[in-house]
Amino acid sequence: MDQFVDVLDAEGVKDYDLCRSSSSINHLLIEEDKNMPLPKRRHSKTRGRKRRTHWKLGQMNLVPCPQCKHPKLTHRICAVCGYYDGRQVIEVKTKEKNKKKKG
């Protein structure tokens, strides 16, 4: 792998020289990150948790299916009967229970 290394030229100005080593771009990335804004102080656990108190799941908007009266999500096909907007859209397969007799 390649790595860039600081090299001072004749005028004392930093120049980047390519050197064979493990990480190629890390040095340049560190040079660019010096001007990034960083927080002055660490935020406490309480402060972060207070901020996240509004990250809630909303209640599901369930309505009764007009055909079979089972609860379903609005604007979705009913999983029980397969109807949407008054017409059958999909055919729902029913599971058959297999009972084995002990012999």
Give the pLDDT confidence of 4-43 residue by residue, as tens digits.
555 555 666 555 555 555 455 555 555 556 788 888 999 9
Tell me the pLDDT band of 1, cut-offs 50, 70 and 90. very low
What is the DSSP track for 13-32? -EEEEEEESS-SSHHHHHHH
Q: What do you get for the CA distance between the two ends of the chain, in Å? A: 70
CA separation for the pair 93, 89 (Å, rounded): 13
Give the pLDDT confidence of 47-62 residue by residue, as tens digits.
999 999 999 999 999 9
Contact of 82 with 65, CB cutoff 8 Å: no
Strand partners, 73: 62
Query: pTM of the full predicted structure?
Result: 0.42
CA separation for the pair 20, 15 (Å, rounded): 16
Determine the average pLDDT of the residues in 78-92.
92
CA separation for the pair 92, 47 (Å, rounded): 50
Select the more confidently predicted residue: 20 or 46: 46
